[in-house]
Amino acid sequence: MAGSNSDTFQSARMADAEIRRGTGGETHQTAGHGVPSLTTQQGVPVADDQNSLKSGPRGPTLLEDFHFREKIFHFDHERIPERVVHARGFGAHGFFESYESLAHITKADIFQRAGEQTPAFVRFSTVAGNKGSSDLARDVRGFAVKLYTKQGNWDIVGNNIPVFFIQDAIKFPDLVHAVKQEPDRGFPQAQTAHDNFWDFISLMPESINMALWIMSDRTIPRSFRFMEGFGVHTFRLINAEGKSTFVKFHWKPKLGMQSVVWNEAVKLNGADPDYHRRDLWDAIQSGDFPEWELGLQLFDDKFADEFEFDILDATKIIPEERVPVRRVGRLVLNRTVDNFFAETEQVAFHTANIVPGIDFTNDPLLQGRNFSYLDTQLKRLGSPNFTHLPVNAPKCPFHHFQQDGHMALYNPKGRANYEPNSWGNNSGGPREVPDVGFRSFAAEDSGVKRRVRAELFADHYSQARQFYLSQTEIEQTHIKNAFVFELSKVETPAIRARVVSHLVNVDNVLAQGVANGLGIELPPATEPARKVINDLPSSPALSIVKNGPSSFKGRKLGILVSDGADASLLSALEHAVIGQGGMIELVAPTVGGFKASDGQVRPAKQKVNGGPSVLYDAVALVLSDRGAQLLSQEATARDFVADAFAHAKFIAATAAAKPLLDKAGVTFDAGCRVLQSPADAQGFVKQCGELRYWAREPKVQVV
């Protein structure tokens, strides 16, 4: 009998193990062809993993959606201690200053008084890479702003791209799993050029608009200072009378937009993987404070009803030509952090951190973010008291009855720790303030409880086409080349073909160019769920080249020098660059410096083999005859010149530099100038304000 009991116990354990592994005991049907059914962690079969549960097609996401809650909850707790996404970040302090009162549009205190300054903290980041990844990865950039207003903290948690990959937050774990390192091999790091990412994109037509954006130069910005920011979602502004106005938030860089080219980005990651961090740090430390203007796109229900696309769809924009961006204030970053960990690493942003006068819409991606972020902060910072950390704490008075918990730096004083209570003002604690407290907009929502999306969400290609056709020819070439490069790293031919089949719906010339670059036949177009609108007007605001800098302000000239360099010419270049608000760095054979023609020994910022031209926006060669002859034998000096030429940068050189130019294979064109005298410096620096000499790029065929 003892043996029988033992056998029974062992059989039960084995059966239990089989069930835990999911290999036995299933009572629900499989997904077909031997593929197991998708279930929750509790084993409940999932009918729809594409849409969160809503009240009507355009209604709010419902709290009872246990599948979404479990999925996002588990995703939020996958990593410790760094962020799952946006792990590599860099932050700075500053202020927001309003230009005018917007009291007729919103009761938000920050917009009531012209000229008032509100403290701010901004964190820029890459999305896909880990903390140790490089700055110049081709990636979306986070642009998160915390505004410490007099009525609490308001976070605008956005990106440098106004659209996103997905429409519903339930797909966020899948997106990030696909873009991160492949789980069986742990690479590639901070790259989308791999099978998993493009497999996901090719099966999610809603991602195609974002795919065009991420293959554009928007994802390889010159620096944070030349980068736009967007709130992505549609929000509401609420005035004192309770009237709602829809709004989209924009951050417009005062310096204009600028990006690097891909070959340059690859070399920058090797030359200085902290390039963006260093650039922001140096600018603030030198007093050249970066600035952005806050712009609002304001529109009403009538526009929302008539617009070709759904304003709740985060994969779409409202073109600025349709709804102009009204600039209502400026953001200035004027102080670096005192401690990177205490501030940049521990700062916690949350889309649900809003103030009276701001409110949400039913955007399903926004609704999911509002639900998710508190979980994220709890896991990452280890306590519900993360708001006690100085970088997260409001700068206005705050009072509540929340108490105790890990890392509680302060607790409510007095007898009462609940409300309502009957104790007097001295010991009763804070009370509600119905007149100024936050009230949600009284929107009417009703509908059948289903996992669905609104009909207009199904147009996945029209705005992707509009974005592509709004680019200049050089930008379109960059997009095509980016697709070819990324898909050439995909090992599975079927995935490459699926991506190109989507591009046929965007633009046939683009699709054919990508197919030619991959050496494949052009596949038939993927059948669109909704007819593509082919005649959307071009939007010049979507082009970086059309919205670039107007001068050399905020940019850097690299000057390659040698012993005997013309001192008067160096001084003229320095004077011209500083006069434009730019910077110079001297690159010499030795970092100890060089002796100029006036006999003075000047220090160098970089040694020639540690200061490649990719670090600079334009270059000048101020060399003596002897110096040029010596440097022409130095491979890194030849690369300095050849790369600057290949990357379409403006180049100036003394006549003595010809041996080095010849060895580097540089033939002067309209983007190159001979520096014959100090008087030539001003004209060269003025020309550099045009950004790059794009006419050269097709001839050198380096992208």
Q: Which of 67, 86, 93, 233 is catalytic?
A: 86
In this predicted structure, what is the pLDDT of residue 20? 39
Respond yes or no: is residue 196 known to be catalytic: no
Higher pLDDT: 582 or 410? It is 582
- Are 615 and 271 in contact, with CB atoms under 8 Å apart? yes
pLDDT of residue 45: 75
Q: Is the pLDDT of residue 49 over 60?
A: yes
239 classed as catalytic: no
The mean per-residue pLDDT over the stretch 240-256 comes to: 97
Mean pLDDT of all residues in 153-173: 97
Q: Is the pLDDT of residue 13 over 60?
A: no
Write down the mean pLDDT value for the chain: 91
Closest to 702 in 3D by CA, of 648, 659, 666, 660: 648
| Range 73-188+223-388 has CATH code 2.40.180.10 | yes
Q: Which residues have a Cβ under 8 Å from the Cβ of 352 and sit 6 or more positions away?
A: 360, 369, 370, 373, 374
CATH architecture of the domain covering 550-700: 3-Layer(aba) Sandwich (3.40)
Q: How much is the average pLDDT of 331-346?
A: 96
The pLDDT value given to residue 35:
74
Cα gap 202→215, rounded to integer Å: 14
Average pLDDT over residues 21-30: 46
Residue 14 has pLDDT above 50, yes or no: no
Statement: residue 633 has pLDDT above 90: yes
Which residues are within 8 A (CB) of 209 and not within 5 positions of it... i.e. 6 or more apart?
A: 163, 315, 316, 460, 461, 463, 464, 467
State the pLDDT at residue 436.
Answer: 83
Terminal-to-terminal C-alpha distance of the chain: 79
pLDDT of 289 > 90? The answer is yes
Question: In this predicted model, which residue has the larger pLDDT, 78 or 17?
Answer: 78
Domain boundaries, the chain: 2-53, 73-188+223-388, 550-700
Using alpha carbons, select from 216, 243, 247 the residue that is nearest to residue 230.
Answer: 247
List the catalytic residue out of 153, 159, 160, 392. Answer: 159
* pLDDT over threshold 90, residue 30: no
Residue 4 has pLDDT above 80, yes or no: no
Q: What is the mean pLDDT of residues 330-357?
A: 95
Q: Is the pLDDT of residue 618 over 50?
A: yes
Q: Is the pLDDT of residue 399 over 70?
A: yes
Checking if the pLDDT of 404 tops 90, the result is no
pLDDT band for 2, please (50, 70, 90 cuts): very low
pLDDT in tens, 435-461: 888 888 988 888 888 889 999 999 999
Q: Are 139 and 156 in contact (CB under 8 A)?
A: no
Per residue in 292-304, pLDDT tens? 999 999 999 999 9
Query: What pLDDT does 32 receive?
Result: 66
pLDDT tens digits, residue range 517-551?
999 999 999 999 999 999 999 999 999 999 998 89
24 has pLDDT over 60: no
Q: What percent of the chain has pLDDT over 90?
A: 76
Q: What is the mean pLDDT of residues 247-267?
A: 97
**The predicted structure's pLDDT at residue 701:** 65
Of 5-19, 75-89, 169-183, the poorest mean pLDDT is in 5-19
| Model pLDDT, residue 36 | 78
3-state secondary structure 632-676: CCCHHHHHHHHHHHHCCCCEEECHHHHHHHHHCCCCCCCCEEECC
Quickly state the pLDDT bin for 9 (edges 50, 70, 90). very low
Higher pLDDT pick, 117 / 10: 117
Q: Tell me the per-residue pLDDT of 470-501, one tens digit each, with 9 for 90 and over.
A: 999 999 999 999 999 999 999 999 999 999 99
Q: What is the pLDDT of residues 550-574, one digit of tens each?
A: 899 999 999 999 999 999 999 999 9
pLDDT average, residue stretch 84-94: 95
